[in-house]
Structure 1
Amino acid sequence: MVPVLVAIALGLLLAYIWNKTRSKLTHIPGPTGLPILGNTLEVGSSFKLICKMEEWARKYGDVFKFNIFGDEIVVVSGSAIGEVLVTKGSEFAGRPKYPWFEKLEGGETHLFMREYDPKLRFIRKLVHRGLRQYGEGVDRIESISVVEISKCLDNIEREDGADFDPFTYIHHAVSQVMNTMLTGEALSEGHPMLNKAIKLDKIDAELSTSYMLLTITDKIPLLDKMTFIPAIRKVKEYTQILDSLINFWTGFEATYDKNNMRGLYDVVYKAYLESESSEEGTKLSYTNVKYLMYELYLAGIITTNKTIYAFVHLMVTYPNIQKRIQSQIDEVVSSQRKLTTEDRHKLPLLEATIHEVLRFTSIVPMTVHKTTKDTSVGGFAIPNDTQVWPIFTSNHHNAEYFIDPLTFNPDRFLEQDGSLSPPESRKMLMPFGAGTRNCIGEVFARMRLFLFTASLLQRFTLLQPTKGKFGIIDPKSEEYLKMTPCICPSYKIRAIPRAWGIYYPKKKT
C-alpha cells in the first residue's frame, strides 16, 4: 500500500513540475492549481467560474491567469478589456477551438466562434451588406419589428389583467422578427418552429452548465458517445432541433429568385451560388450558408429576449421608474401614435434604463478570445495562441466604475438636466463587446429593445401578480449565474391597458 501511495505522490509531483516547466505564463500572477487538473475543480460550474474570476481579479488585478485541465487562460478586466477588444483588437481577435461545438456546425465554426481569418472578415462584410440590402435596410427592420411587437402586445392584452408569465409572448415576438429577417416572412400563429426556437434557446443555456465536461470531450476518447451522461444527451437533442431548423430554412431555396432578395438567407445563398469571394479569394461553402443562418438566428434571439424579460421584471420591481418613463412617453407622443426609433433621443430616461438593464443584468458576463500573434496586455507579454477572457461583470458590478453597482439606478446614465450621458462616460459598459469582434447585430438589437420596451410601457402598466411571490433579480446569485447567457427566474405579472389602468382609470358611465 505504501509503495502505491509513494508512486501516486511522485506521479503528482512530476506532473506538477511538468505543468510548471511547460507554462509560458509564469510571469503573470494567478491562483495555484493542482497537477494536471489546474483550477478545474474550483470553476466546475458557470456560477463558480464567474465568482472565482471576479474574486481572483480583486486579488491579482486586471490581468491574471488560471488553468483548466492544462490549458492556461488569461483573464482581463478594468481598462485591460479596452486594450484587448479595441486598442489591440486584431491581436486578440482569435477564438479558442471547441471540437464539440465544431461537430454541431458541420465540422467548422462560421461566425461567432470562428478564427479571425479572411473568411470571417468576408462573412461579416456579407452580413452587414445583407442587412443594408434587405428591403430598405434599417427602415425595413423597424417595420418588421413594429408588426411583431404589436402582435405580442395584442396577446398580452388578451390576458385581460390576469396573472401571466410574459416569457413565451416575448420569445415568439423576438424569434418572429428573426424569421422574417432570414426568410422574408413570419411563421403562422402556433407554428411548431416557434416552440422549437424556445427549446433550442433553453438547451443552449443548459449546455453552458456543462462547459467543463464538454471542453474535455476531445481529450477523453469516446466520451462524446456516452449518451447516458445528461450533457452528452443534451448535445444530441440540440443537434436534432438544429437540423430541423436548417431543413426548414433550406426549403426556401426551391423558390429562390436572384432578382428578389427576401431575406438574409437569400443574400448569403446568392453569394454562395455565384461563388462570390473576398479580396483574399476565400469563398462560402454550402455548410457556411446553413450554419451561418443558425448562428445569426440564435444570436438574434437569446440575448434580446432575456433582456426584455429582465426589463419587464425590473419595471414591476421599480414602479416609480416605470411611471417616470410613461410620463416621458406621454409628453413625446399621443396614445394613438406608435413610437418609432426617431423618438429615441426624445426619451432619455428610457434609453438610460435600457443601459442600466444591460449593465445590472450583464446577461453575457464574459467572452472568450485568443491571441493571433505575440502581444501584450497591461504590461504583460502574451504569447500567440493564448486564450484571453474579458470578464464584463467585473466592470459592470465594480464600484470603481459604477457607484453602488448592485443597485438598479437608471439615473446614473443621466445628466443633471435629464439628458442622456455622453458615450465617453459609459466606456466601461460593454454589453455587446467592442472593437474588432463586437456583436454584429448591436444596432439591430438596440433598435428592437427600444421599440419593444417603449411600446410596452406606452400601452400597459405592469404590476405584481395577485397571487404568489414576486422575487427579485440578484445578478450575483447562483440561481441567476447558473447558465450563460443568464436569465432571471420565471415570474408572473399583470399588464393593465393604460386606457383603463392604474394611471388612467376608466371613466364612470
Structure 2
Amino acid sequence: MSFLILFLSDPVGIALLGALLLGGLFCFLRRPKEPAGKWPPGPTPLPFIGNLHLLDLRRQDKSLMKISEKYGPIFTVHFGIQKMVVLTGYEAVKEALVNSAEEFADRPPIPIFQRIQEGQGIFFSSGELWKTTRKFTMSSMHNLGMGKKLLVKKILEEFSFLAGLIESFKGEPFKLKLFNMAPTNVTFLLLFGDRFDYQDPTFVTLLRLIDEVMVLLGSPFLHLFNFYPFLGWLFKPHKTILVKIEEVRVIIRNYMEASKQHIPGGYVTSYTDALMQKQSEEPKTETYFSDANIVASILDLVMAGTETTSTSLQWAILFMAKYPEVQAKVQEELDRVLGPRRLPEYEDQKALPYTNAVIHEIQRFVTLLPHVPHSMSVDTHFRGYFLPKGTAVIPLLTSVLLDKTQWKTPNEFNPSHFLDADGNFVKKAAFLPFSIGRRVCIGESLAKMEMFLFFVSLLQRFTFHPPPGIKESDLDISPEATFTMRPQPQNVCAVPRS
C-alpha cells in the first residue's frame, strides 16, 4: 500500500494520481493485444496502477520476494502499465543467466538511463555496441593492471592516504562516508591516470555529484518516472539528475581533450587514453567509439564503478563497530598470520579464512544492488513459459543472497555461511553480489581486490567503535535505499592499535 500512501498523503499526490490515471488509460487502450496463457502467473493488476499497490517503492526487492511466496520463482508483475517477469531464487536466476545467457543478455529501455545514456555505454546498452564496448573495456582494464600485482601496490598506497586521514581525527567520531574516498580514487586512477588529493576541487565535486545522483536514483518519484515516462513533466528527480550528470560529463570531456594531446603516439596510462587511442585508429565511419559512446562508457564507470566498492567498505566498517566480537576475531587472525606491520597481499586471503568469510558475509547480507533488469534478446521458451523478444526480466539478486535453500540463516549476519566445520573458507555458488553470466559486473575482480586489501589494512591499523554514548546495539544496519543499498548516515570512531 506504500504506493497509494505516497500519493494520498498530500494534495499534490492526489493531483498526480489523477494525471497518472488519465495517462494510463490512454496507454491501456492503445496497447497491443498479446497471446493469452503464455506469460508466467502473477497478481492481478489493477487498471493503470498495475501491481504498484503491492510494492514498497524503496524496497521493491523485498516486496517481490513476498509475491514470489505465492506465485513461485518465476512470475509476472505489472509496474504500472509495464509488464515484467521476475526470477527469484538461486536455481531460477542461474538457469536464466548461465544456462540461457545469450537469450537474457539485453537491457530493457529504462527511461532514466535512456535519457542519460541514449543507449550508449557499457551497462545499459545492448547488441553489438554493448558487446564491443564491454570487450574493449575489460581488455583495457586488464592492460592497466586490474587484477594484477601492480594494482595491489596502488591500492596500498591509497590506503596510506586514507589511514592518515583517519588518524587526523585522533579517535573522535567521523562520518562513514569518509571511506568513499580511497576506493573512488583507485577507480579514478584507472579512468584518468592519476589519483586525486582528497581536497582537490574536482575530486570533491565528483564525490558530491556521484552521491547526489545515487540518492536521487533511489527516489520513489524517480521510480514513478520510469513506470510512467509520459508523465515526466510532473516529476522532478529525473530533471535534477540530468543536470548533475551534465556536470560530470563536462569533467569527462576535459579529460578526453587532455588525452587527445598525447594520443596517438604517447603512452596509454588510463581508460580514457585507451578509448581515445582506439577512436584515433578506427575508420571515421566506425560508430562504436564515437565521442558519445566514449563519454557514456567513462560515465558508467565513474558512477557505478565507484559507488559499489565504496559503499561496501562503509558497510564493512559499520559491521565491525556493531559486532566487536567479530572484529576481534578478524584482528586475531590478522595478527597471527600477517603480524602488525606486514602489508597484505591479495593472495593472503587463502591464509585468512575467517577474514575472507566475514568480507563475503557482509557482501551477502547487505544485498548491495538488489537487481538490474535484463531483457530477452530473442523469443525464448523458459520453464514452460514463452518470453517474447524485448520482455523485461528482473533476476532478483536479493532473493539469491537470501535464498533459504542456500543459506542456513539467510536473514542473519553469520560469517559461518562461508566456513566448514574445520574453519576453512568455503566458496558458495549462490554468492552472486556481482550477478552472473554475460552481464556479470565488469569490475568484479577489482572490487574483490580493493575490498580485501582495504578491509585487512584497516583492521590491522585500527579498531572501530560506535561514537561515545552510543551502544553497539544502537548502530543502525537497516539500509538506505539509493541506487544501491547504502548504510544509514552514521559516525564511527577509529582507535589506532598498538
TM range (shorter): 0.7 to 0.9
Q: 230, 252, 255: which one pairs with 1:249?
A: 255
2:342 to 337, 341, 365: 337
Equivalent of 1:439 in 426, 441, 455? 441
- Aligned positions of 1:278-297 closer than 5 A: 283-297=288-302
Cα contact 2:58–2:481 (8 A) shared by 1:
yes
- Structure 2 counterpart of 1:157: 167
Q: What's the CA shift for 1:374?
A: 1.4
Whole-angstrom CA distance in 2 between matches of 1:473 and 1:92: 37
Task: Please tell me whether the aligned partners of residues 134 and 262 of structure 1 are also in contact (alpha carbons under 8 angstroms).
Answer: yes
User: Where does the alignment leave 5 or more consecutive residues of structure 1 unmatched?
Assistant: 1-8, 500-509
Can you list the C-alpha shifts for 1:113-143, whole angstroms capped at 9, x where unaligned? 111x122111122112112222586222222
8, 25, 29: which one aligns with 2:41: 29
Deviation at 1:263? Answer: 1.0
Change (3 A) 1:329 1:119: same
Aligned to 1:358: 363
Match of 2:81 in 1: 70
Q: Which residue of 2 aligns with 1:503?
A: none
Distance 1:236 1:282 in 2: 24
Deviations 1:53-76 (A, max 9, x none): 111111110000011232210000
Does residue 1:234 correspond to 2:240, yes or no? yes
Specify the alignment match of 1:176 in structure 2. Answer: 185
**Identity of matched residues, %:** 25
| Matched letter for residue 123 of structure 2 | F
CA contact (8 A) 2:365 2:402 kept: yes
Q: Which residue of the partner structure matches residue 505 of structure 1? A: none
2:145 and 2:491 map into 1 onto residues whose CA distance is 38
Q: Do the aligned partners of residues 271 and 151 (structure 1) sit closer, same or farther apart at CA in structure 2, a change above 3 Å counting? A: same
Once residues 342 and 52 of structure 2 are traced to their aligned partners in structure 1, the CA distance between those partners, rounded to angstroms, is 55
On the 8 A contact 2:376/2:393 being kept in 1, the answer is yes
Cα pair 1:65 1:75 within 8 Å, conserved: yes
Rg larger for = 1
Q: How large is the Cα RMSD of the aligned pairs?
A: 2.7
Q: Pick from 150, 172, 176 the counterpart of residue 166 of structure 1.
A: 176
Question: Is the 2:367–2:397 Cα contact (8 Å) retained in structure 1?
Answer: yes
- Residues 335, 24 of structure 1: CA spacing in aligned structure 2 closer, same or farther, 3 A cutoff? farther
TM-score, length-normalised on structure 1? 0.86
Q: Answer whether contact 1:276 1:283 (CA < 8 A) is retained.
A: no
Supply the distance in 1 between the matched residues of 2:44 and 2:186 (Cα, whole angstroms). Answer: 48
Equivalent residue number for residue 504 of structure 1 = none
**Alignment partners' CA distance in 2, 1:464 and 1:33:** 46
Separation in structure 1 between the aligned mates of residue 130 and residue 371 of structure 2, nearest angstrom: 21
**Structure 2 equivalent of residue 4 of structure 1:** none
Q: Deviations over 1:167-226 (max 9, x none)?
A: 12x111111111111121112341122222322232223222234332156424xx35x6
Aligned residues: 472
Q: Is there any run of 5+ residues in structure 2 with no aligned partner, and where?
A: 1-20
Residue type at the aligned position of 2:383: G
Please state if 1:268 is matched with 2:256. Answer: no
* TM-score normalised by L of structure 2: 0.88
Please report how far the alpha carbon of residue 19 of structure 1 lies from its aligned counterpart in structure 2 after TM superposition.
Answer: 6.9
The separation in 1 between residues aligned to 2:227 and 2:39, in whole angstroms, is: 26
- Quick one: which amino acid aligns to residue 38 of structure 1? G
Aligned amino acid, residue 57 of structure 1: S
In structure 2, the partner of 1:54 is 65
Say whether residues 1:100 and 2:106 are aligned partners. Answer: no
- Specify the alignment match of 1:496 in structure 2: 495
- For residues 217 and 296 of structure 1, the distance between their equivalents in structure 2, rounded to whole angstroms, comes to 28
Match of 2:154 in 1: 144
Question: 2:410 matched to 1:405?
Answer: yes
For 1:85, give the aligned amino acid. Answer: L
The 3 A distance-change label for structure 1 pair 299 and 287 is: same
Matched, 1:487 2:486: yes
